[in-house]
Every structure is written in C-alpha cells, then in structure tokens.
Amino acid sequence: QSALTQPASVSGSPGQSITISCTGTSSDVGGYNYVSWYQHHPGKAPKLMIYDVSKRPSGVSNRFSGSKSGNTASLTISGLQAEDEADYYCSSYTSSSPWVFGGGTKLTVL
Amino acid sequence: EVQLVESGGGLVQPGGSLRLSCAASGFTFSSYAMSWVRQAPGKGLEWVSGISGSGGATYYADSVNGRFTISRDNSKNTLYLQMNSLRAEDTAVYYCAKDQTIVLVPAANIWGQGALVTVSS
C-alpha cells in the first residue's frame, strides 16, 4: 500500500492557476477511474473537491478541476484565492486496497 | 443536516485498547460505505479501514490489520473502530468518513471533526 506521489508544496499568486500532480502506478491511478482530491485546512475536517477523476461535488467551485493521463492525476485550481491555501491530498482505489492517499501538497497563495 | 460525530478518543498506554464511535445523522446510514482515516501529528492523511453499507465487507490498511476491527450497527446509525495492541505510532486524529456509494471507493463527501487518540506511557 505505497502512498501516491505528490509534490510537497506548490505556490501561486491570487488570480493565477496552479496544478498539483499525483503519480501512481497501473495498479492504482492508472488502472481505475476512482481518483479523488481533498482539501484540508489544519484543524478542520477534510473536504472532497473532486471524485471519479474529474467530477465536482455539489457546492464545490468550478475553479477546481481534475484530470488523468496514464498513471498521473492532476488537480488544477484556476483564479487562485486566499482561501484556497490549504493542504491537498489525492487518493485512489487500488488493486490491493480500496483507498490509498498521496503524501499531500501544501498550497501557498502568495 | 448530514453529520458525523466521533467519540471515544483519549490517552491510552502502549499495548492498550480503545474503541472509537461515529454517530451518523441526516442520511440513510445503511446505504453508504464508511471509512476511518487518520492523521498523525505533522503527517498526511492515512486511510485506516473501511466497511460496506451492509457491513458484509471490511478492509484494513496493512499498518493496522490484525489489531483494529471496524464494525457498524445500522440500527443505531453508528460506526465503530476497535483498536487493540495500540502503539505510539497510532497516535493521531481519527476521522470517520461517509462514502458516496454502498461499496467502498475513495470518494468520501462527509467527514467528522475527528477524535484524538494519544498512545503514550
């Protein structure tokens, strides 16, 4: 159950777009369309932002979008806002376990 | 209002046991898979265990397999995590999370606020 690989940190200025990558293998990200992304502000409950690779739950801003190519999934946030500053985690279904998370990416809005 | 409320956290000695509960409200509990996810201090999220809506299928991370047991009582709308043989590395905030389907896939749209478990002598 190896964790998916995410960059430790990314940053961007308000109004810009950023992309967070999530790299796995053909046994997880590449093999299933069950990739999700969570936003986590310290001390609060995680929030589902994207599921099934690119679907957005009701209430989530359309500034958030997801995609996948091969064994790598991506979360793109456009029109960065100060409140987007948080930790972001990808997760995927795997051939050996229903859930595995990425290591997390700290987004800083400059 | 859809809500999950964890309870049962606390301080326990290494080798001890603890049972977490997660009370659900605002949705048909038996229709959804549920999971426990934890975050150790300074670390990322780690999926711990999951259970199908009926309770007939259970899953565990390698790190807790054989020590933790997940269960649910659909008549009481409550999810449980029995934790035995606790280790210092089990110290974390434990979240319960509701999936979007009756079977377990990683798409939890509702989360509790978390319960702190500290394993220390």
Question: For A44-85, how does the pLDDT look when each residue is reduced to its tens digit (9 = 90+)?
Answer: 999 999 999 999 999 999 999 999 999 999 999 999 999 999
Task: Give phi and psi for B19, each to the nearest 5.
Answer: -120, 125
pLDDT tens digits, one per residue of A1-52:
568 999 999 999 999 999 999 999 999 999 999 999 999 998 899 999 999 9
Answer whether B61 sits within 8 Å of A1, measured CB to CB.
yes
Which residues 60-99 of B are in CB contact (within 8 Å) with A?
Answer: 61-62, 95, 97
Which residues 32-71 of A are in CB contact (within 8 Å) with B?
Answer: 34-36, 38, 40, 44-48, 51-52, 57
A100 vs B47, B107, B108: nearest CB? B47
A2/A5 Cα distance (integer angstroms): 9
pLDDT of residue A20: 98
pLDDT of residue A42: 85
pLDDT of residue B56: 94
Which residues on chain B are in Cβ contact (under 8 Å) with A45?
A: 95, 111-114
pLDDT of residue A2: 67
- Please check whether residue B34 is in contact with residue A70, taking contact to mean a CB–CB distance below 8 angstroms: no
pLDDT of residue A1: 58
Distance of CA B109 to the CA centre of its chain: 15
Tell me the nearest-neighbour CA distance from A36 into chain B, angstroms. Answer: 6
- The tens-digit pLDDT sequence of chain B (121 residues) is 999 999 999 999 999 999 999 999 999 999 999 999 999 999 999 999 999 999 999 999 999 999 999 999 999 999 999 999 999 999 999 999 999 988 888 899 999 999 999 999 9
Task: Give phi and psi for A98, each to the nearest 5.
Answer: -65, -30
Which residues face B23 on adjacent strands? B5, B78
B108/B96 Cα distance (integer angstroms): 9
A80/B69 Cα distance (integer angstroms): 41
- Please check whether residue B6 is in contact with residue B117, taking contact to mean a CB–CB distance below 8 angstroms: no
